[in-house]
Protein backbone atom coordinates (compact mmCIF):
# COMPACT_ATOMS: atom_id res chain seq x y z
CA UNK A 1 0.00 0.00 0.00
CA UNK A 2 1.24 3.54 -0.81
CA UNK A 3 0.47 5.80 2.16
CA UNK A 4 0.88 9.56 1.90
CA UNK A 5 1.29 11.37 5.22
CA UNK A 6 0.71 15.14 5.19
CA UNK A 7 1.83 17.42 8.03
CA UNK A 8 4.46 14.79 8.85
CA UNK A 9 6.53 17.14 11.05
CA UNK A 10 3.70 17.80 13.51
CA UNK A 11 3.01 15.86 16.72
CA UNK A 12 0.85 13.21 15.09
CA UNK A 13 2.85 13.20 11.84
CA UNK A 14 6.05 12.37 13.74
CA UNK A 15 4.32 9.47 15.48
CA UNK A 16 3.06 8.20 12.10
CA UNK A 17 6.72 8.04 11.04
CA UNK A 18 7.35 5.63 13.94
CA UNK A 19 4.44 3.45 12.82
CA UNK A 20 5.93 3.48 9.30
CA UNK A 21 9.24 2.20 10.73
CA UNK A 22 7.35 -0.74 12.28
CA UNK A 23 5.52 -1.56 9.05
CA UNK A 24 8.00 -1.51 6.19
CA UNK A 25 5.76 -3.77 4.12
CA UNK A 26 4.04 -0.52 3.05
CA UNK A 27 5.45 2.40 1.12
CA UNK A 28 5.23 5.51 3.34
CA UNK A 29 5.66 8.98 1.88
CA UNK A 30 6.07 11.66 4.53
CA UNK A 31 5.46 15.28 3.57
CA UNK A 32 5.09 18.56 5.43
CA UNK A 33 4.41 22.01 3.97
CA UNK A 34 7.95 22.24 2.50
CA UNK A 35 7.44 19.15 0.35
CA UNK A 36 3.70 19.35 -0.13
CA UNK A 37 1.51 22.34 0.66
CA UNK A 38 -1.93 20.76 0.91
CA UNK A 39 -3.66 24.01 0.01
CA UNK A 40 -2.15 23.62 -3.50
CA UNK A 41 -4.55 21.49 -5.54
CA UNK A 42 -2.19 20.97 -8.51
CA UNK A 43 0.72 19.96 -6.27
CA UNK A 44 -1.42 17.50 -4.26
CA UNK A 45 -2.89 15.97 -7.43
CA UNK A 46 0.60 15.58 -8.94
CA UNK A 47 1.95 13.93 -5.80
CA UNK A 48 -1.01 11.55 -5.45
CA UNK A 49 -0.60 10.57 -9.11
CA UNK A 50 3.22 10.22 -8.96
CA UNK A 51 3.33 8.00 -5.91
CA UNK A 52 0.06 6.22 -6.78
CA UNK A 53 -1.23 6.96 -3.30
CA UNK A 54 -3.78 4.48 -2.03
CA UNK A 55 -4.40 6.37 1.20
CA UNK A 56 -3.77 9.94 2.39
CA UNK A 57 -3.49 10.42 6.16
CA UNK A 58 -3.95 14.12 6.81
CA UNK A 59 -1.99 15.15 9.91
CA UNK A 60 -1.71 18.79 8.76
CA UNK A 61 -3.88 21.41 10.41
CA UNK A 62 -4.04 24.93 11.77
CA UNK A 63 -4.06 24.03 15.47
CA UNK A 64 -3.48 27.33 17.28
CA UNK A 65 -6.85 28.01 18.92
CA UNK A 66 -6.09 31.61 19.94
CA UNK A 67 -4.58 32.63 16.62
CA UNK A 68 -7.51 31.06 14.76
CA UNK A 69 -9.84 33.33 16.73
CA UNK A 70 -7.94 36.38 15.45
CA UNK A 71 -7.56 35.14 11.87
CA UNK A 72 -10.30 32.66 11.01
CA UNK A 73 -9.69 33.02 7.26
CA UNK A 74 -6.17 31.62 7.50
CA UNK A 75 -7.35 28.78 9.72
CA UNK A 76 -10.15 28.05 7.26
CA UNK A 77 -7.67 27.77 4.40
CA UNK A 78 -5.85 24.87 6.03
CA UNK A 79 -8.65 23.30 8.07
CA UNK A 80 -11.30 23.36 5.33
CA UNK A 81 -10.09 24.52 1.88
CA UNK A 82 -7.09 22.14 2.00
CA UNK A 83 -9.29 19.29 3.25
CA UNK A 84 -11.49 19.90 0.22
CA UNK A 85 -8.38 19.61 -1.97
CA UNK A 86 -7.72 16.18 -0.42
CA UNK A 87 -11.36 15.19 -0.88
CA UNK A 88 -11.00 15.64 -4.65
CA UNK A 89 -8.20 13.07 -4.97
CA UNK A 90 -8.60 9.47 -6.06
CA UNK A 91 -6.95 8.08 -2.90
CA UNK A 92 -8.83 7.10 0.24
CA UNK A 93 -8.59 9.75 2.99
CA UNK A 94 -8.16 9.59 6.75
CA UNK A 95 -8.59 13.02 8.29
CA UNK A 96 -8.18 14.13 11.91
CA UNK A 97 -10.67 16.40 13.63
CA UNK A 98 -11.36 17.59 17.13
CA UNK A 99 -13.62 17.69 20.21
CA UNK A 100 -13.86 21.47 19.52
CA UNK A 101 -16.61 20.74 16.98
CA UNK A 102 -18.83 20.27 20.07
CA UNK A 103 -19.97 23.00 22.44
CA UNK A 104 -18.32 21.39 25.45
CA UNK A 105 -21.38 22.04 27.58
CA UNK A 106 -22.36 18.36 27.75
CA UNK A 107 -21.97 15.97 30.67
CA UNK A 108 -22.00 12.54 28.97
CA UNK A 109 -19.32 11.40 26.47
CA UNK A 110 -19.94 12.80 22.98
CA UNK A 111 -20.97 10.26 20.35
CA UNK A 112 -20.32 10.61 16.63
CA UNK A 113 -24.05 11.16 16.13
CA UNK A 114 -24.26 14.12 18.54
CA UNK A 115 -24.90 17.50 16.95
CA UNK A 116 -21.80 19.65 16.61
CA UNK A 117 -21.97 23.24 17.90
CA UNK A 118 -18.47 24.75 17.80
CA UNK A 119 -17.87 27.70 20.12
CA UNK A 120 -14.56 28.83 18.63
CA UNK A 121 -13.15 29.79 15.23
CA UNK A 122 -10.86 26.75 15.34
CA UNK A 123 -13.85 24.46 15.96
CA UNK A 124 -15.86 26.09 13.17
CA UNK A 125 -13.04 25.67 10.63
CA UNK A 126 -12.50 22.03 11.63
CA UNK A 127 -16.22 21.29 11.33
CA UNK A 128 -16.27 22.94 7.90
CA UNK A 129 -13.39 20.65 6.85
CA UNK A 130 -15.36 17.60 8.01
CA UNK A 131 -18.40 18.69 6.02
CA UNK A 132 -16.53 19.35 2.79
CA UNK A 133 -14.66 16.06 3.04
CA UNK A 134 -17.80 13.99 3.53
CA UNK A 135 -19.63 15.89 0.78
CA UNK A 136 -17.02 14.98 -1.85
CA UNK A 137 -15.82 11.70 -0.42
CA UNK A 138 -18.52 9.96 1.60
CA UNK A 139 -16.29 6.97 2.32
CA UNK A 140 -13.60 9.10 4.03
CA UNK A 141 -12.61 8.37 7.63
CA UNK A 142 -12.72 11.28 10.08
CA UNK A 143 -11.24 10.67 13.52
CA UNK A 144 -12.02 13.26 16.16
CA UNK A 145 -9.54 13.38 19.00
CA UNK A 146 -8.77 15.65 21.98
CA UNK A 147 -5.99 16.80 24.34
CA UNK A 148 -3.23 15.49 22.06
CA UNK A 149 0.36 15.31 23.30
CA UNK A 150 3.55 13.56 22.27
CA UNK A 151 7.28 13.68 22.80
CA UNK A 152 7.40 15.94 19.69
CA UNK A 153 6.25 19.52 19.16
CA UNK A 154 4.67 21.86 21.68
CA UNK A 155 1.99 20.49 23.96
CA UNK A 156 0.57 20.59 27.48
CA UNK A 157 2.87 17.87 28.87
CA UNK A 158 5.99 19.69 27.74
CA UNK A 159 4.70 23.06 28.94
CA UNK A 160 3.87 21.69 32.40
CA UNK A 161 7.24 19.96 32.72
CA UNK A 162 8.94 23.26 31.88
CA UNK A 163 6.76 25.29 34.28
CA UNK A 164 7.12 22.66 37.01
CA UNK A 165 10.90 23.09 36.85
CA UNK A 166 10.75 26.91 36.72
CA UNK A 167 8.06 27.65 39.34
CA UNK A 168 7.38 26.83 42.96
CA UNK A 169 3.64 26.64 42.49
CA UNK A 170 1.19 26.80 39.61
CA UNK A 171 -2.57 27.05 39.28
CA UNK A 172 -4.21 24.66 36.83
CA UNK A 173 -7.91 24.53 35.96
CA UNK A 174 -10.02 21.74 37.41
CA UNK A 175 -13.40 22.65 35.86
CA UNK A 176 -12.52 21.45 32.35
CA UNK A 177 -12.49 17.69 31.88
CA UNK A 178 -11.46 15.49 28.99
CA UNK A 179 -9.05 12.72 28.13
CA UNK A 180 -5.36 13.19 27.35
CA UNK A 181 -4.37 11.38 24.17
CA UNK A 182 -0.90 10.13 23.37
CA UNK A 183 -0.41 10.81 19.64
CA UNK A 184 1.43 7.49 19.28
CA UNK A 185 -1.71 5.62 20.39
CA UNK A 186 -3.76 7.62 17.90
CA UNK A 187 -1.22 6.79 15.18
CA UNK A 188 -1.60 3.07 16.02
CA UNK A 189 -5.38 3.40 15.75
CA UNK A 190 -4.96 5.09 12.36
CA UNK A 191 -2.85 2.14 11.24
CA UNK A 192 -5.68 -0.24 12.22
CA UNK A 193 -8.12 1.92 10.27
CA UNK A 194 -6.08 1.96 7.05
CA UNK A 195 -5.19 -1.74 7.12
CA UNK A 196 -8.63 -3.16 7.92
CA UNK A 197 -9.72 -5.77 5.36
CA UNK A 198 -12.79 -3.88 4.16
CA UNK A 199 -12.51 -0.08 4.32
CA UNK A 200 -14.95 1.36 6.91
CA UNK A 201 -15.59 5.02 6.14
CA UNK A 202 -17.30 7.30 8.65
CA UNK A 203 -16.76 9.55 11.65
CA UNK A 204 -15.04 8.04 14.70
CA UNK A 205 -13.93 9.28 18.11
CA UNK A 206 -10.55 8.38 19.58
CA UNK A 207 -8.78 9.42 22.78
CA UNK A 208 -7.04 7.38 25.44
CA UNK A 209 -9.35 5.80 28.05
CA UNK A 210 -10.48 7.59 31.22
CA UNK A 211 -11.37 11.11 32.24
CA UNK A 212 -9.53 13.84 34.15
CA UNK A 213 -9.22 17.60 34.54
CA UNK A 214 -6.17 19.61 33.45
CA UNK A 215 -5.33 19.83 37.18
CA UNK A 216 -5.35 16.02 37.55
CA UNK A 217 -3.40 15.70 34.31
CA UNK A 218 -0.69 18.04 35.63
CA UNK A 219 -0.39 16.21 38.94
CA UNK A 220 0.01 12.92 37.07
CA UNK A 221 2.64 14.42 34.73
CA UNK A 222 4.70 15.47 37.76
CA UNK A 223 4.12 12.19 39.63
CA UNK A 224 5.26 10.08 36.69
CA UNK A 225 8.19 12.38 35.94
CA UNK A 226 9.35 12.11 39.55
CA UNK A 227 9.19 8.31 39.51
CA UNK A 228 11.05 8.06 36.18
CA UNK A 229 13.62 10.85 36.35
CA UNK A 230 16.55 11.49 38.68
CA UNK A 231 15.72 15.17 38.46
CA UNK A 232 12.60 16.01 40.57
CA UNK A 233 9.77 18.50 40.20
CA UNK A 234 8.66 19.97 43.51
CA UNK A 235 6.22 22.61 42.28
CA UNK A 236 2.88 22.66 44.07
CA UNK A 237 -0.14 22.27 41.76
CA UNK A 238 -3.18 24.30 42.84
CA UNK A 239 -6.69 23.77 41.45
CA UNK A 240 -8.19 26.92 39.93
CA UNK A 241 -11.38 27.75 38.00
CA UNK A 242 -11.38 28.63 34.30
CA UNK A 243 -12.66 32.06 35.32
CA UNK A 244 -9.42 32.60 37.27
CA UNK A 245 -7.25 31.86 34.21
CA UNK A 246 -6.81 34.51 31.53
CA UNK A 247 -7.92 32.49 28.49
CA UNK A 248 -7.93 34.49 25.27
CA UNK A 249 -10.43 32.02 23.80
CA UNK A 250 -12.97 30.14 25.95
CA UNK A 251 -12.20 26.42 26.31
CA UNK A 252 -14.80 23.62 26.40
CA UNK A 253 -15.71 22.46 29.93
CA UNK A 254 -16.50 18.94 28.81
CA UNK A 255 -14.44 17.24 26.06
CA UNK A 256 -14.96 13.54 26.75
CA UNK A 257 -15.51 11.48 23.60
CA UNK A 258 -17.31 8.14 23.38
CA UNK A 259 -14.97 5.65 21.70
CA UNK A 260 -17.29 2.64 21.42
CA UNK A 261 -17.63 2.91 17.62
CA UNK A 262 -13.93 2.88 16.74
CA UNK A 263 -13.28 0.04 19.21
CA UNK A 264 -16.03 -2.20 17.88
CA UNK A 265 -15.49 -1.41 14.18
CA UNK A 266 -11.74 -2.01 14.17
CA UNK A 267 -11.43 -4.40 17.11
CA UNK A 268 -8.93 -2.18 18.92
CA UNK A 269 -8.39 -1.78 22.63
CA UNK A 270 -7.28 1.63 23.89
CA UNK A 271 -4.71 2.22 26.65
CA UNK A 272 -5.72 4.11 29.83
CA UNK A 273 -4.45 7.70 29.84
CA UNK A 274 -2.02 7.37 32.79
CA UNK A 275 -0.36 4.31 31.25
CA UNK A 276 -0.03 6.17 27.91
CA UNK A 277 1.42 9.21 29.68
CA UNK A 278 3.98 7.03 31.43
CA UNK A 279 5.14 5.63 28.06
CA UNK A 280 5.45 9.12 26.59
CA UNK A 281 7.35 10.58 29.56
CA UNK A 282 9.77 7.64 29.45
CA UNK A 283 10.45 8.55 25.80
CA UNK A 284 11.12 12.15 26.80
CA UNK A 285 13.59 11.42 29.60
N1 LIG B 1 -3.08 19.31 19.39
C2 LIG B 1 -4.24 18.96 19.97
O3 LIG B 1 -4.41 19.05 21.20
C4 LIG B 1 -5.37 18.43 19.13
C5 LIG B 1 -6.59 18.14 19.76
C6 LIG B 1 -7.64 17.65 18.97
C7 LIG B 1 -7.44 17.43 17.62
N8 LIG B 1 -6.24 17.74 17.03
C9 LIG B 1 -6.10 17.50 15.60
O10 LIG B 1 -5.11 16.51 15.42
C11 LIG B 1 -4.42 16.71 14.19
C12 LIG B 1 -2.92 16.68 14.42
O13 LIG B 1 -2.59 17.74 15.32
P14 LIG B 1 -1.08 18.04 15.76
O15 LIG B 1 -1.12 18.52 17.16
O16 LIG B 1 -0.20 16.89 15.38
O17 LIG B 1 -0.77 19.28 14.80
P18 LIG B 1 0.62 20.08 14.65
O19 LIG B 1 1.63 19.54 15.58
O20 LIG B 1 0.25 21.53 14.67
O21 LIG B 1 1.07 19.66 13.17
C22 LIG B 1 0.50 20.15 12.01
C23 LIG B 1 1.54 20.11 10.92
O24 LIG B 1 0.96 20.57 9.69
C25 LIG B 1 1.92 21.40 9.06
N26 LIG B 1 1.34 22.30 8.06
C27 LIG B 1 0.97 23.61 8.21
N28 LIG B 1 0.51 24.10 7.06
C29 LIG B 1 0.59 23.10 6.14
C30 LIG B 1 0.28 23.01 4.76
N31 LIG B 1 -0.23 24.05 4.09
N32 LIG B 1 0.51 21.84 4.12
C33 LIG B 1 1.01 20.78 4.78
N34 LIG B 1 1.34 20.81 6.10
C35 LIG B 1 1.11 21.95 6.77
C36 LIG B 1 2.53 22.15 10.22
O37 LIG B 1 3.71 22.80 9.84
P38 LIG B 1 4.15 24.17 10.63
O39 LIG B 1 4.39 23.76 12.05
O40 LIG B 1 5.37 24.60 9.88
O41 LIG B 1 2.97 25.12 10.50
C42 LIG B 1 2.74 21.01 11.21
O43 LIG B 1 3.96 20.33 10.96
C44 LIG B 1 -4.96 18.03 13.63
O45 LIG B 1 -5.95 17.77 12.68
C46 LIG B 1 -5.60 18.71 14.82
O47 LIG B 1 -6.66 19.58 14.44
C48 LIG B 1 -5.21 18.22 17.76
- Return the domain boundaries, the chain: 2-154+180-209+255-270
Assigned superfamily of 2-154+180-209+255-270: NAD(P)-binding Rossmann-like Domain (3.40.50.720)
Q: What is the pLDDT along the chain (285 residues), one digit of tens a residue?
A: 999 999 999 999 999 999 999 999 999 999 999 999 999 999 999 999 999 999 999 999 999 999 999 999 999 999 999 999 999 999 999 999 999 999 999 999 999 999 999 999 999 999 999 999 999 999 999 999 999 999 999 999 999 999 999 999 999 999 999 999 999 999 999 999 999 999 999 999 999 999 999 999 999 999 999 999 999 999 999 999 999 998 999 999 999 999 999 999 999 999 999 999 999 999 999
- Report the run of H or E that residue 98 belongs to, with start and end: strand 92-98
pLDDT in tens, 111-127: 999 999 999 999 999 99
b/e for 87-118, b at 16 or more Cβ within 10 A?
bebebbbbbbbbbbbbbbeeeebbebebebeb
The confidence score (pLDDT) of residue 246 equals 87
- Interhelix angle 214-228/273-284, nearest 10 degrees: 50
Ligand 1 centre from 148 Cα, in Å?
Answer: 11
b/e for 200-213, b at 16 or more Cβ within 10 A?
ebebbbbbbbbebb
Give the whole-angstrom CA distance, residue 203 versus residue 197.
Answer: 18
In the set 30, 100, 110, 122, the catalytic residue is 122
The confidence score (pLDDT) of residue 125 equals 98
**122 included as an active-site residue:** yes
Residue of 5, 31, 32, 189 with the most ligand 1 atoms within 8 Å of its CB, for mutation: 32
Ligand 1 centre from 237 Cα, in Å?
Answer: 29
pLDDT in tens, 130-143: 999 999 999 999 99
Ligand 1 centre from 169 Cα, in Å?
Answer: 31
CB burial of residue 52 (10 Å; 0-12, 13-18, 19+): exposed
Ligand 1 centre from 256 Cα, in Å?
Answer: 21
The confidence score (pLDDT) of residue 33 equals 98
On whether the CB atoms of residues 77 and 33 are closer than 8 A, the answer is no
On whether the CB atoms of residues 2 and 52 are closer than 8 A, the answer is yes
Q: Which residues line ligand 1 (CB under 6 A)?
A: 6-7, 9-13, 32-33, 37-39, 59-61, 63, 78, 96, 98, 126, 145-148, 153
Amino acid sequence: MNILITGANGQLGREMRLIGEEHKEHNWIYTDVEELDITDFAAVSRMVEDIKADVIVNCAAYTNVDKAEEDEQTALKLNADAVEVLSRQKAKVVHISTDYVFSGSGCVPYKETDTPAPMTAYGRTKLEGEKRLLQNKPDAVIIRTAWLYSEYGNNFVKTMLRLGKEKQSLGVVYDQVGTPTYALDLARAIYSVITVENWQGGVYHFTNEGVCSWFDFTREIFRIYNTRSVEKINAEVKPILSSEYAYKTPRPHYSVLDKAKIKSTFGISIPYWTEALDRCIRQMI
